[in-house]
Structure 1
Amino acid sequence: MASRYGLEIRAADSTDAPGVAELLQVAGLPAAAVAGRLERLKAERATVLLAIEWGPPSGLIVFHARQTLLATCPAPSSARSLSDPTHAAAGSEGCC
């Protein structure tokens, strides 16, 4: 893929479990049963987006759409964002 440039952002699925597990381990977070957790998040209508440059994911964000009393449609609620510190841009390091 010599012509590929930049960062790819896409939805994750259970086939991404090994890369997500690696990213979680780098951050010092539990990485067991990631495939099952990704499937449960999907079943709960959560969105998991991966940031991928070359190789395993370098970042992810998980969010859920939540209905609120003040909004006419569901609004996203961020549950977790994570980036590999070796790939993080200035000001966006680590887990938040």
Structure 2
Amino acid sequence: MTHSTKTGNTDPKNIVLTAHFGSCHDHIYLLRTMIGYGIGPLDFRLADSLALFKTIKGPAEHSKIALLVAKYAEWSPYMPDGADSKARALRAVVMAAF
């Protein structure tokens, strides 16, 4: 796995995989799939945006991406069944909310 930021930094410790409710679904699926294909754990970080919202905005904050988009980033196009759309919408919501 290789990545490069604007500074040319290729340290994998700078990679953060963020998923909404990732600690109970997406991150586990990703890690199980990697292990199933014989890929050892890589040196990257995992973050859960749902935990971020619940911790900072309060436990009453909406948990569905569609509701968060409507509240924080209504200008962002969002299609509920598209992983690409979810990632872009989640980025827009996090950037607008924080």
Structure 1 and Structure 2 fold alike (TM over 0.5): no
Higher strand share goes to which structure? 1
